[in-house]
Structure 1
């Protein structure tokens, strides 16, 4: 076994256990955590069974009243201490993110910085005005409306940004007075679960407020179905999101779905080709393309397509593929055999249908090199499917109207980017794209703690997380009246 993260957190305390009012043996047994780059076993973690989830739901519900009644300053103090622990333990978090999720160290640094930003923003949420004084229906009467916590929130987390996505939901949910059941993905249960539990444990979060329950689909289904859970915040694939929504819908729960995307990076004929190609390379090849906001289509005006494609190929060839722990590596392995096989299938089927590989296109184990495709048409998987790998399909267009039509030719609607020498022109094109987020002369893959993050179409259910949208998501209205003097 490859031992990492010695010292903190104490492996003897958490190995093979779940976190539910302390570290406990689970009914679901244990599962090894495998390093994608080497195949080494990094640790064994406990897997929460449906029975474990049920017990955690009871404990979270029991703790909800006291946590909701706590002074906002007390909840803020926990978040501030958690920020301090994360800074102090950043080396451990980075190492686990690199080893467990196969991101390069810069990806680990990004997750840590983004998680700190989420914690800082949640501190402000705790003291935002939450109510309104309404016009009373009777003279001299009182009519008030204010937001109260939902109670128990279930968070089902993906593997591609395990720390960030856990904290992105946890921080506002806790700040606003909710208790939480967190189910990290079984591929990243330490960086997205164990370390998060220890982070808040060290920050002094009261027992029972947070429960960390690693596991697969049956664990997630149990969280979504638990009668004590009032809301599910899910980040993952559209197919899995539909399944979670079906289960949660039976209980009439609130559901926040942040799902997949087939995002376009649009390059108009007056764009800076080199800057656009760099943004395109980062948008598609960063973290092996394993992001819902990755660029899945590069739409380039015919006047620039040759120069753009040449530049994109140069960026792809300059990225070294290998173990992300090694100096100079820019692309690590994809997360699993299933994901590698999926990327390979999409490229191979597209090539068989007439697409051309300009660079890359052949995997070795879990390592898939940055790949650029041209001669892509609309019947090919590279055009229609979310690839979730480092593959850049390039498609030419002749007019703005054609670019908009191609970009909108998908059921997804998450993110986009538009490049032009004229910001007003790019903004006008961006306004025609059916996406929840769009960025001018920048990458597709962006997020900010104070921004409402989410998509349209099958990229979500219209919900948003981040900024003041988190106040709306993690609370509900209560109305109270009192009559005036008789």
Structure 2
């Protein structure tokens, strides 16, 4: 690498690379005859069309990543850092255009788009430190004249599969640290977010001067490639973000082929509001936790548990808050709740709400469903046995549940197969921490939302919410391996 950033072939507003595969440093069509149509979830217009990648394209991408990684190994760590600094500047300079892509492709509101871009910038800045953190250690030995050296090395090649909800960030969350740790990467974005979760990231790193082939983006569908992305011999780590059902399959295939699966999966997060909580703060935090990006966030608060002494006050204020949220065109800066990603998700959520009502839930607020728009909905009289309490509801539907004792609240919160995030609202901060320690979940926030991700704090879940941790040192650990090399400086004495 000569240290000079390449000239971007197009802006991220509109251009052919967004509609092509990015393999071995080239923008090209996929080898399959099938065309993937990327649609705007709000109005159904076509955002882009891609000829999808086939198994041969997957092979080309992985082989390119493996070759380019050897070149990347020879680049000075400070020069590697410069690539990430350029990537940061590129995102900052094209912020407005990226916002428009997020709005058009994902149905994300402008508020959501800015939130996601902020997360991406922080992740790029953190990944920029990784080349300078590939530290080794020298350890003592019980054997005279011997030293033990421990080297931190890249795993080699990483396969990344990203989801449709926060694809720009959730792709970058694995891609940037994996590159920063010295690996080659092949990224497969979700078919509903091929630009924001895929080709946009390829464009950013191409413009930043990343060696050709080190990052590859393949846009395809599982029926076209089967398990080829997982089974290819090149990747040593498969980083998957998505549903728990698919994550289980990814893990099974990866382990069968002696690859390390890194899984960030679904959630069914609980927010606990104690009797001494600041109710207005709790209502605002609950609304943000449930309705941000239409509830299509794995950390969203599906279950809001409120002490019976303040339940009626909280419920009245929460319903009023939900009713006040503007639903509609995400291009409108006043819109808070835009469309769900597709009709399949909309229909599934509507069916789940109907099932909850049939099981005995009461509708405190019923949002109108219009196309992929699903208005905020609030259910009360919900019990732990109901489907709406046990399944992840990936949409703007909240369940309110009263409780009488803290032990009861903890039991309800833990009565789920998931364990990603959570929140506790109380004026007694340390008491809130003690309750948080009892929750079987990877993350809990006191007097705040359930939705948080920071670049240096370990992020991950328990139970069916996945395994492994990302961010900061944890990402460095996940995308590297340790090698022990011992050096004997004298004449070793052997017993025979």
1:255 and 2:258 aligned: no
Classify the secondary structure of the residue corresponding to 2:297. Answer: coil
1:11-410 → structure 2 map (5 Å cutoff):
11-29=15-33, 30-128=35-133, 130-218=135-223, 219=225, 221-410=227-416
- Over 3 Å counting, the alpha-carbon distance change for 1:194 and 1:268 in structure 2 is same
Classify the secondary structure of the residue corresponding to 1:291. Answer: coil
Q: Structure 1 stretch 122-131 or stretch 441-450: which is displaced more?
A: 122-131
State TM-score, norm by structure 1: 0.96
Corresponding residue of 1:427: 433
Contact 1:301/1:398, CA 8 A, preserved across alignment:
yes
Q: Structure 1 stretch 204-213 or stretch 7-16: which is displaced more?
A: 7-16
Query: What CA distance in whole angstroms lies between the structure 1 residues aligned with 2:12 and 2:327?
Result: 30
- Over 3 Å counting, the alpha-carbon distance change for 1:435 and 1:483 in structure 2 is same
- State the Cα distance separating 1:220 from its structure 2 match: 7.2
Contact 2:419/2:442, CA 8 A, preserved across alignment:
yes
Query: What CA distance in whole angstroms lies between the structure 2 residues aligned with 1:11 and 1:454?
Result: 36
Classify the secondary structure of the residue corresponding to 1:276. Answer: helix
Query: What CA distance in whole angstroms lies between the structure 2 residues aligned with 1:340 and 1:20?
Result: 38
- Over 3 Å counting, the alpha-carbon distance change for 1:371 and 1:220 in structure 2 is farther
Taking only aligned residues, the RMSD between alpha carbons, in angstroms, comes to 1.5
Q: Structure 1 stretch 360-369 or stretch 212-221: which is displaced more?
A: 212-221
Query: What CA distance in whole angstroms lies between the structure 2 residues aligned with 1:371 and 1:26?
Result: 41
Runs of 5+ unmatched residues, structure 2:
1-8, 492-496
Query: What CA distance in whole angstroms lies between the structure 2 residues aligned with 1:70 and 1:18?
Result: 22
- State the Cα distance separating 1:136 from its structure 2 match: 2.6
- State the Cα distance separating 1:422 from its structure 2 match: 0.8
Contact 2:21/2:217, CA 8 A, preserved across alignment:
no
Aligned length: 481
Corresponding residue of 1:442: 448
Contact 2:22/2:202, CA 8 A, preserved across alignment:
no
Query: What CA distance in whole angstroms lies between the structure 1 residues aligned with 2:155 and 2:28?
Result: 26
Contact 2:21/2:219, CA 8 A, preserved across alignment:
no
Contact 1:138/1:484, CA 8 A, preserved across alignment:
no
- State the Cα distance separating 1:291 from its structure 2 match: 0.5
TM-superposition CA deviations, 1:252-295 (whole Å, max 9, x none):
10110000011000000000111101100110011110010000
- State the Cα distance separating 1:59 from its structure 2 match: 1.4
Query: What CA distance in whole angstroms lies between the structure 2 residues aligned with 1:114 and 1:302?
Result: 37
State TM-score, norm by structure 2: 0.94
Query: What CA distance in whole angstroms lies between the structure 1 residues aligned with 2:292 and 2:13?
Result: 29
